[in-house]
Structure 1
Amino acid sequence: MGRVTTADHAEATTASSELREEYAALVDEVARHQVAYHQKDSPLISDAQYDQLIHRLRTIEADHPELASADSPTQQVGGAPSEAFAPVTHLRRMYSLEDLFSASELRTWYDRASASLQEQRPGEQPRWLVELKIDGLAISLLYRHGELVWAATRGDGTTGEDVTHNVRTIADIPHHLTGDNHPEELEVRGEIFMPSEAFEAFNQTLIDAGKTPLANPRNAAAGSIRQKDPRKTAQRPLSMFVHGIGARSGFEPTSQHHAYEALAEWGLPVSPYTAILDSFEEILDYLETYERKRHELVHEIDGVVIKVDDFAQQRSLGHTSRVPRWAAAYKYPPEEVATRLLDIREHVGRTGRVTPYAVLKKVKVAGSEVQRATLHNQDVVKAKGVLIGDDVMVRKAGDVIPEVIGPVLPSRDGREDELREYEFPERCPACGTVLAPGKEGDVDYRCPNAESCPAQLSERVAHIGSRGALDIESLGYEAGLALTNPDLRRPAELDTIDREAAEASGAPVTFGPKGVSPQTPVLRNEADLFDLTAEDVKDVYVWREVRHAGEPTGKWAPSLYFWTKPQWDRHGALKKPSEPTANTIQLFEEMHKAKAQPLWRVLVALSIRHVGPTASRALSAAYGSMDKIRAADEEELAGIDGVGPVIAASVREWFSVDWHCRLVDQWAAAGVRMEDEVDEDTPRTLEGVTVVVTGSLEGYSRDESKEAIIARGGRAAGSVSKKTDVVVAGANAGSKLAKAEQLGIPVLDEAEFSELLSNGPGRWKQADD
Structure 2
Amino acid sequence: MTSAQSGSSTRHADPDENPYVEDPPTDFDPVDDFSREAAADQAALLRAAVREHDHRYYVEADPLVSDEEYDRLFARLRDLEDAFDLPTENSPTRRIGGEPLDGLETVEHVAPMRSIDNDTDADAVREFDERVRGGLADAAGSGDLPGFDPDDLAYVCEPKFDGLSIEVVYEDGAYVRAATRGDGREGDDVTEQVRTIGSVPARLRGDDHPERLAVRGEVYMPRAAFEAYNEELMERGEEPFANPRNAAAGTLRQLDPAVVAERPLDVFFFDVLAWEADADGPERPARHRDALDAFESLGLRRNDRVEVVDDVEAAIDYRDEILAARDDLNYAVDGVVIKVDALAHREALGSTSRAPRWAFAHKFPPRTATTTVEGVTVQVGRTGRLTPVAELDPVDVGGVTVSRATLHNPAEIEALGVNVGDRVRIYRAGDVIPYVPEVVEKRGEGAYEFPDACPVCGAAVERDGPLAFCTGGLGCPAQLERAVEHWARRDALDVEGLGPERVEQLREAGLVASLPDLYDLTADELAALEGWGETSAANLIAELDATRDPPLDDFLAGLGIPDVGATTARALAAHFGTLDALLDADEDALREVDDVGPEVAASIRAFFDREENRTAIAGLRERGVDPEPFETDAGDAPADALDGLTFVFTGSLSVPRSEAQAHVEARGASATSSVSGNTDYLVAGESPGRSKRDDADAEGVPIVDEADFAALLADRGVDWPPTDD
TM-score, normalised with respect to structure 1: 0.46
* Larger Rg belongs to: 1
Structure of greater relative contact order (alpha carbons < 8 Å, 6+ residues apart) = 2
TM-score, normalised with respect to structure 2: 0.49
